[in-house]
Amino acid sequence: MVEFSDIEDARARLAGSVRTTPCDAAEALSTHTGARVILKLENLQVTGSFKARGAGNKLEKLGTAERARGVVCASAGNHAQGVAYHAARLGIAATIVMPVGTPLIKVARTQAFGAEVVLAGENYDDAYEEALRIERERGALYVHAYDDDAIIAGQGTVGLEIAAQVPDVDVLVVPVGGGGLISGTALALKTLVPGVRVVGVQVASLPSMKAALEAGKPVKLPPTRTLAEGIALRKAGERCVPLVQRYVDDIVLVEDEDIARAILHLLEQQKTVAEGAGAAGVAALLADKVSGLAGKRVVALVCGGNIDVSVLSRIIERGLVESGRLGRLEVTIPDRPGGLAEMLGEVARQRGNVVEVQHERAFARGTFGTVVVQVVVETRGHEHVRDIVGALEKKGYGSARVLAQ
């Protein structure tokens, strides 16, 4: 089992090759929770996530003969980049197996570090089996993403930094997948700050660590798809579970919708980009999943920022709809020259910004002489949407209604 001294050794081993990431005050989250919330921004790590710590510690410990064999690993993306980055730095050949659906940014960045990338399977388990096949075939050394003492010790250096940066921390909130990050971080932080409460956060559709704690051992859950693919692991680590049992106080669950809101919140309020797994801790705070925070000093880990821009775009659009800043209206207008322009002019007078218009006759409902128009409008929020609808009704568009906001 990993000891505190292993984490201290890892810090010395990693000096100069990973960043000491900042802790940033989160004013909006503090107001929401009644606590003093601080974010540990591991999304600003050299590879965009905390995984560079464990991978660096593991590879630094390899002897000359082991390095000559090369390394292979399976990863949904962040561990891949950590291994590829340090392998290139140390002159070690690296082969990375990633699921076919891995976000393109993670594939591209892994390749940019010089690693050979193999896309195989639909999920981490499929990629893992292919990586083991390559290990047997080539004689390379397999580097596990979380169930390895050197990996856990490397991730634990996050806890050493938090203890130095926020020595009076009361609560630590950590996203959980296989358990490597929370195991090492909780061990390090509770050794230095014994009274700290450590809360893990998992996605509700795949709570592998929570299931392991309930069963007393790792259990394999059915596969599923989630926005938080970085922590969507079907089975918790054998080496991680005992550490979590000893050092972690609670595991809470969040939904994909909570994570999407957290990503948008971090972008708007903190001006920082997080991937689904990286935003899970913030999601738990926004969704009030962690109790007893009032008046406490809380540190939440934003553990990764490698999100595909197309996914980020969809999250932003859905967030705008949810907050009422993007609304879809349906209006019946007279089917005559100028009818559409007059209705859109009224929307403009109410300071709504029209971004899309669907104007069809053949499939439209309503009587002859009228046409149903759908309009997507940028607004200031739900009340502004209602004001626009009210103004349209006053102008004689009595059938104006909100389809989505």
Alpha carbon distance 344, 352 (integer Å)? 9
Per-residue pLDDT tens digits for 70-117: 999 998 789 999 999 999 999 999 999 998 988 788 888 899 999 999
Any domain includes 357: yes
Q: What is the DSSP string of 323-346?
A: TTSEEEEEEEEESSTTHHHHHHHH
Same domain assignment for residues 129 and 206: no
- What's the pTM value of the predicted model, to 2 decimals? 0.89
Per-residue pLDDT tens digits for 106-164: 888 899 999 999 999 988 888 999 999 999 999 999 999 999 999 999 999 999 999 99
Any domain includes 202: yes
pLDDT above 60 for 366: no
Same domain assignment for residues 60 and 177: no
Any domain includes 147: no
pLDDT above 60 for 240: yes
3-state secondary structure of 95: strand
Same domain assignment for residues 357 and 346: yes
Same domain assignment for residues 223 and 363: no
pLDDT category, 367, cuts 50, 70, 90? Answer: low
Same domain assignment for residues 189 and 249: yes
Percent of the chain with pLDDT over 70: 97
| C-alpha of 333 from chain center | 44
Any domain includes 282: yes
Give how many domains the chain has, as a whole number: 3
Same domain assignment for residues 39 and 97: no
Same domain assignment for residues 161 and 293: yes
Same domain assignment for residues 113 and 230: no
Would you say 331 and 372 are in contact if contact means Cβ atoms under 8 Å apart? yes
Any domain includes 395: yes
Entry field: residues in the chain: 405
Same domain assignment for residues 126 and 257: no
Any domain includes 200: yes
Same domain assignment for residues 60 and 45: no
Residues of the domain holding 211: 4-50+153-318
Per-residue pLDDT tens digits for 311-349: 899 998 888 888 889 999 999 888 889 989 999 999 999
Tokens encoding 73: 């690993």
The β-bridge relationship of strands 197-203 and 353-359 is: unpaired
Last residue of a domain, one of 266, 296, 318: 318
3-state secondary structure of 49: strand
Any domain includes 262: yes
The CATH number for 86's domain is: 3.40.50.1100
Same domain assignment for residues 138 and 203: no
Q: Which amino acid is at 69?
A: R
Last residue of a domain, one of 318, 345, 376: 318
Would you say 152 and 244 are in contact if contact means Cβ atoms under 8 Å apart? no
Last residue of a domain, one of 90, 120, 142: 142
Same domain assignment for residues 57 and 198: no
pLDDT above 90 for 52: yes
CB-CB neighbours of 400 under 10 Å: 24
Q: Give the pLDDT confidence score for residue 339 in this predicted structure.
A: 87
Any domain includes 148: no
The CATH number for 389's domain is: 3.30.70.260
